[in-house]
Amino acid sequence: METVDTVIRSRLNSDVVLIRTIGEYIIGAGGKRMRPVLLLLIAQALGYKGTHHHLMAAAVEFIHTATLLHDDVVDESDLRRGRGTANAVFGNAASVLVGDYLYSRAFEMMVDVDSMRIMQIMSGATTVIAEGEVLQLLNIHDPDVSEARYLQVVRFKTAKLFEAAAEAGAVLAGGSAAQQEAAAAYGRHIGTAFQLVDDVLDYNGEVGALGKNVGDDLREGKPTLPLIRVLEVGNPEQKQLVREAIEKGEADFDAVARAIQETGALEHVSQCAVAEAALARQAIEVLPDSPARRALIDFCAFAIERDR
């Protein structure tokens, strides 16, 4: 990861000072770097000995960072990873344009890897992620979003880049078709689990630990899985409370949180996350035993047990 960070900073270099400033601001904020780690571990688990996995891991982080820059503008967010978002500090226009730069730079880096299959995976992933963003936009303030419809957004918007990172790692390592599919399935399920845990944390996390405003999704009118669960199993009063909260993007947050607790919605979402993590573990049973594979198994536990 130190090598990946070195690649990230060298590839952020630009004669345009604002690009360097914003790029350093958001990438320097830290974050878990889960997608790059996933790519490195899959490549190592399949015996990769080259250096292109560092370049690809950095490219994946650039794509992820670009989506964050664009997301925060769309969501009008002002806090991420415990500090002001780039759009809050530098303005919406600069954030969108630097996000575009990072997308472009990521694909420029992929050209250096010289793998048409990886280009196919990553270009397809960015298309699906964009579709997920639009689907989420269509779901805002809609209390009739089903669990299946919501999970489609999760798989498109969040899980797809996990999937692409893992599959790219397997392709780099020359894994078989079965191993590549196993890596993709692992990434897809672990990415879904990751987002579902985020949904839980939005209602029981602390701002300082979570790095964003607790309850933001509710205020933005996003029907996340805990809210959808209340609408499925709650009593008439609880259902009406959540329906109005989603429609208006404003409500008594404490009352909504109580409805979520009383209906066991967080437990339901946590169980869904555990099931996804189990599918991820199952997917990589076809990989040979190694320290990297064991780390991937530990990764499943981290995804569902984390508190930030």
pLDDT of 169-227, one tens digit each?
999 999 999 999 999 999 999 999 999 998 998 887 554 443 445 467 777 888 999 99
Tell me whether residue 15 is in a domain: yes
Mean pLDDT of 225-237: 95
Token reading at 16: 């345009």
Mean pLDDT of 21-26: 82
Give 158's DSSP letter.
Answer: I
User: Considering only 64-73, 154-163, 214-223, which range has the smallest mean pLDDT?
Assistant: 214-223
Contacts 24+ apart (CB under 8 A), 235-244: 238/262, 238/263, 242/143, 243/143
Tell me whether residue 307 is in a domain: no
- What's the number of domains the chain is made of? 1
**Nearest C-alpha neighbor of 122 from the set 79, 192, 58:** 58
Q: How confident is the model at residue 62 (pLDDT cuts 50, 70, 90)?
A: very high
Token reading at 206: 């602390």
The Cα 78–Cα 274 span in angstroms is: 31
User: Considering only 5-14, 42-51, 204-213, which range has the smallest mean pLDDT?
Assistant: 204-213
Token reading at 239: 């259902």
Q: Is 308 or 35 the better-scoring residue by pLDDT?
A: 35
pLDDT exceeds cutoff 90 at 46: yes
Residue 258 structural domain: 2-300
- Classify each residue of 49-77 as buried b or exposed e, where b means 16 or more C-beta atoms within 10 Å of its C-beta: eeebbbbbbbbbbbbbbbbbbbbbbebeb
Mean pLDDT of 121-129: 97
Tell me whether residue 296 is in a domain: yes
Structure confidence by residue, pLDDT tens digits, 73-84:
887 888 776 678
For the purposes of burial, counting CB atoms within 10 Å of the CB of 148, is it exposed (0-12), middle (13-18) or buried (19 or more)? Answer: exposed
Tell me whether residue 173 is in a domain: yes
Tell me whether residue 295 is in a domain: yes
Tell me whether residue 305 is in a domain: no
The CATH number linked to 120 is 1.10.600.10
Tell me whether residue 68 is in a domain: yes
Tell me whether residue 126 is in a domain: yes
pLDDT exceeds cutoff 80 at 251: no
The Cα 62–Cα 106 span in angstroms is: 6
Mean pLDDT of 225-240: 95
Q: What pLDDT sits at residue 207?
A: 45
Q: Write down the pTM of the prediction.
A: 0.92
* Cβ-Cβ contacts under 8 Å for 285 (sequence gap 6 or more): 182
Q: What pLDDT sits at residue 257?
A: 86
Q: Which amino acid is at 292?
A: A
* Cβ-Cβ contacts under 8 Å for 40 (sequence gap 6 or more): 1, 4, 53, 54, 57, 169
**Nearest C-alpha neighbor of 202 from the set 193, 188, 213, 186:** 213
